[in-house]
Amino acid sequence: MLTYLWIALGSALGGMARYACSTLVAQMAGGSFPWGTLLVNVVGSFVIGVFATLGGPESRWPLSPDARLFVTVGLCGGYTTFSSFSLQTLDLMREGQAGPAMGNVAASVALCLLSVWAGVAAGHLLNGARPG
């Protein structure tokens, strides 16, 4: 039961951080493209890559299972916004902006995959191992 509380706490903190970050970026960037959601998903992909690698049982800084779930499932799960991404992309399509919608899909997938790879590589480097 304590594990679920850690995940719930991480989700709440991640959700608040998502709202703050995406709102700030939207205010700064303006326009109809969801830059804040894209940034949140890229950063969240990097963080989950780092912590999944650094927090493993064979790492330099192993985390307890609850701490690892707090960060990966809780914080990152509450922070990343795939459902928001999906709705915003659909809204762009409904508004006749197929180009920006497809650009959002391509940028999100490519940048998030690159970001999670970079996070895993950073975790390996911090562990003192060569990135895989």
Q: How would you write the pLDDT of the chain (132 residues) with one tens digit per residue? A: 999 999 999 999 999 999 999 999 989 998 788 999 899 999 999 999 898 888 888 888 888 999 999 999 999 999 997 877 888 899 999 999 999 999 999 999 999 999 999 999 999 899 887 666
Please tell me the predicted confidence (pLDDT) of residue 118.
95
Please tell me the predicted confidence (pLDDT) of residue 84.
76
Please tell me the predicted confidence (pLDDT) of residue 81.
78
Please tell me the predicted confidence (pLDDT) of residue 132.
60
Please tell me the predicted confidence (pLDDT) of residue 131.
63
Residues 6+ apart with CB under 8 A from 131: 120, 121, 124, 125
Tell me which residue of 85, 86, 77 sits closest to 45, measured CA to CA. 77
